[in-house]
Chains A and B, each alone.
Chain A
Amino acid sequence: EPEVTQTPSHQVTQMGQEVILRCVPISNHLYFYWYRQILGQKVEFLVSFYNNEISEKSEIFDDQFSVERPDGSNFTLKIRSTKLEDSAMYFCASSESSSGDSYEQYFGPGTRLTVT
């Protein structure tokens, strides 16, 4: 069964460093998302991406964050200068569509980011 994959599973970085989190969405999906879950808190929406551009972003997704689909399979989240409060589990998700019968949004296993 197709699934969303994410690498690495755990990333440790020092404050101020840049990190890139990688995701491979399900192959026929067109909509891509990043969410994060700070330990003990709710899963929060960061950004949605369609047709090679951001379709919506949350207040969390400030200038330190960027997303890219560098090729036909990968979807990346970059944090330019990490802060301690960026420590969280980051989930990538994808869906076939945003309408009709394809509202199912499938999540990857997550990347745990630890900023020291």
Chain B
Amino acid sequence: GEDVEQSLFLSVREGDSSVINCTYTDSSSTYLYWYKQEPGAGLQLLTYIFSNMDMKQDQRLTVLLNKKDKHLSLRIADTQTGDSAIYFCAESIYGGYNKLIFGAGTRLAVHP
């Protein structure tokens, strides 16, 4: 079945790197996404990776994909207080007209 799992909470010090992890079950996933949700706001697309890639870097964000273990991670370098939010991992399923299956979200708290 389709399922995406994430740890629920992560606390980091400002300036450190944050690593948010995600596992998924469906081997036919085509794209894997990271979305950010700030309090009271919608879902902001941060980045995504195609399932035949291992890594994607976009400024402070690095996405790593281990397809064998069905494990996805998002690394945020030099984490700032403005990065405090909930981060959602999502997968799209081949042939599923790109419906997204979301994880429960990881709440990132950045402290001084």
Q: How many residues of B contact A (CB 8 A)?
A: 23
Assembled-state Cα–Cα distance A42/B104 (Å): 5
Interface positions, chain A 78-116, Cβ under 8 Å from B, are: 91, 93, 95, 98, 103-110
* A103 near B43: Cβ-Cβ < 8 Å: no
Assembled-state Cα–Cα distance A108/B41 (Å): 9
* B43 near A43: Cβ-Cβ < 8 Å: yes
* A50 near B97: Cβ-Cβ < 8 Å: yes
Set B33, B45, B48, B97: member contacting A31, Cβ < 8 A: B97
Interface presence of A68 (CB below 8 A): no
Main secondary structure of the interface of A (DSSP, over half): strand
Residue from B30, B42, B45, B98 whose CB has the most chain A CB atoms within 10 Å: B98
Instruction: List, in ascending order, chain A residues with CB within 8 A of B64's CB.
Output: none
* B102 near A48: Cβ-Cβ < 8 Å: no
Q: A41-67 interface mask toward B, CB cutoff 8 Å, 1 = contact, 0 = none?
A: 111110010100001101000000000
* B97 near A104: Cβ-Cβ < 8 Å: no
Assembled-state Cα–Cα distance A17/B44 (Å): 31
* B45 near A106: Cβ-Cβ < 8 Å: yes
* A105 near B45: Cβ-Cβ < 8 Å: yes
A98/B48 contact (C-beta < 8 A), A43-B102, A91-B43 known: no
Interface presence of B24 (CB below 8 A): no
A105/B100 contact (C-beta < 8 A), A43-B88, A91-B42, A110-B42 known: yes
Interface residues of A (CB under 8 A from B): 31, 33, 35, 41-45, 48, 50, 55-56, 58, 91, 93, 95, 98, 103-110
The 9 closest A-B pairs by CB, nearest first: A109-B42, A107-B43, A43-B102, A98-B98, A55-B97, A45-B99, A48-B97, A56-B97, A103-B31
Given contacts A43-B100, A103-B48, could you give 6 more A-B pairs where the C-beta distance is less than 8 Å? A31-B98, A48-B99, A98-B98, A105-B45, A107-B42, A110-B42
